Amino acid sequence: MDSSKIFKKLKLAQEVYDENFLNKEFLYIYEEKGEIKKFLITFKKQNFLHLTGVKYNSKDNMSPLDFYRAVKENRLSLSEKILMILQILN
Protein backbone atom coordinates (compact mmCIF):
# COMPACT_ATOMS: atom_id res chain seq x y z
CA MET A 1 0.00 0.00 0.00
CA ASP A 2 1.42 3.36 -0.95
CA SER A 3 1.79 6.27 1.44
CA SER A 4 -1.06 8.31 -0.09
CA LYS A 5 -3.56 5.50 0.60
CA ILE A 6 -2.26 5.10 4.13
CA PHE A 7 -2.51 8.83 4.74
CA LYS A 8 -6.11 8.83 3.42
CA LYS A 9 -6.97 6.07 5.89
CA LEU A 10 -5.41 8.03 8.75
CA LYS A 11 -7.33 11.16 7.68
CA LEU A 12 -10.60 9.21 7.58
CA ALA A 13 -9.88 7.70 11.00
CA GLN A 14 -9.19 11.16 12.36
CA GLU A 15 -12.44 12.53 10.92
CA VAL A 16 -14.40 9.70 12.55
CA TYR A 17 -12.50 10.24 15.81
CA ASP A 18 -13.15 14.00 15.76
CA GLU A 19 -16.84 13.58 15.01
CA ASN A 20 -17.63 10.75 17.40
CA PHE A 21 -15.09 10.80 20.22
CA LEU A 22 -12.98 13.95 20.51
CA ASN A 23 -13.63 15.80 23.79
CA LYS A 24 -16.62 13.59 24.56
CA GLU A 25 -17.07 11.72 27.80
CA PHE A 26 -18.16 8.10 27.92
CA LEU A 27 -19.30 6.47 31.11
CA TYR A 28 -18.67 2.74 31.26
CA ILE A 29 -20.68 0.75 33.77
CA TYR A 30 -19.88 -2.89 34.32
CA GLU A 31 -20.13 -5.65 36.86
CA GLU A 32 -17.12 -7.33 38.37
CA LYS A 33 -17.48 -10.12 40.91
CA GLY A 34 -21.02 -9.05 41.74
CA GLU A 35 -20.08 -5.41 42.24
CA ILE A 36 -21.21 -2.60 39.94
CA LYS A 37 -18.26 -0.50 38.83
CA LYS A 38 -17.91 2.48 36.56
CA PHE A 39 -15.30 4.68 34.97
CA LEU A 40 -15.42 7.81 32.89
CA ILE A 41 -13.21 8.32 29.88
CA THR A 42 -12.65 11.48 27.85
CA PHE A 43 -11.04 11.21 24.43
CA LYS A 44 -8.43 13.86 23.72
CA LYS A 45 -6.35 14.76 20.67
CA GLN A 46 -3.27 13.16 22.18
CA ASN A 47 -5.08 9.79 22.44
CA PHE A 48 -5.51 9.52 18.66
CA LEU A 49 -2.03 8.12 17.94
CA HIS A 50 -2.43 5.31 20.48
CA LEU A 51 -5.87 4.40 19.17
CA THR A 52 -4.58 4.05 15.60
CA GLY A 53 -2.25 1.31 16.76
CA VAL A 54 0.62 3.04 14.98
CA LYS A 55 4.05 3.37 16.54
CA TYR A 56 5.33 6.59 15.02
CA ASN A 57 9.02 7.34 15.32
CA SER A 58 9.98 10.67 13.84
CA LYS A 59 13.41 12.25 13.71
CA ASP A 60 12.22 15.10 15.92
CA ASN A 61 10.46 12.87 18.50
CA MET A 62 6.96 13.98 17.57
CA SER A 63 4.55 13.84 20.50
CA PRO A 64 1.12 12.20 20.21
CA LEU A 65 -0.44 15.67 20.06
CA ASP A 66 1.97 16.67 17.29
CA PHE A 67 1.03 13.49 15.40
CA TYR A 68 -2.66 14.42 15.63
CA ARG A 69 -1.92 17.93 14.35
CA ALA A 70 0.30 16.63 11.54
CA VAL A 71 -2.48 14.37 10.26
CA LYS A 72 -5.03 17.17 10.63
CA GLU A 73 -2.82 19.66 8.76
CA ASN A 74 -1.74 17.19 6.03
CA ARG A 75 1.92 17.37 6.97
CA LEU A 76 2.65 13.87 8.27
CA SER A 77 5.82 12.26 6.95
CA LEU A 78 5.31 8.56 6.34
CA SER A 79 8.70 6.86 6.50
CA GLU A 80 9.47 3.35 5.32
CA LYS A 81 9.32 2.18 8.92
CA ILE A 82 5.79 3.43 9.53
CA LEU A 83 4.67 2.17 6.12
CA MET A 84 5.78 -1.34 7.06
CA ILE A 85 3.92 -1.20 10.37
CA LEU A 86 0.76 0.09 8.71
CA GLN A 87 0.89 -2.55 6.00
CA ILE A 88 1.02 -5.25 8.65
CA LEU A 89 -1.99 -3.69 10.38
CA ASN A 90 -3.90 -3.42 7.12
Domain containing residue 84? 3-89
- pLDDT, residue 1, reads 59
Give the number of other CB atoms < 10 A from CB of residue 48.
24
Q: Which pLDDT band, with edges at 50, 70 and 90, does 15 fall under?
A: very high
Q: Which pLDDT band, with edges at 50, 70 and 90, does 84 fall under?
A: very low
- Please state, in angstroms and rounded to a whole number, the distance separating the CA atoms of residues 80 and 83: 5
Q: Where are the alpha helices (DSSP H) in 1-90?
A: 3-20, 48-52, 64-72, 80-89
How does pLDDT run across 23-76, given as a tens digit for each residue? Answer: 999 999 999 999 999 999 999 999 998 888 777 666 667 889 998 999 999 888
What is the domain count for the chain? Answer: 1
- pLDDT, residue 7, reads 84
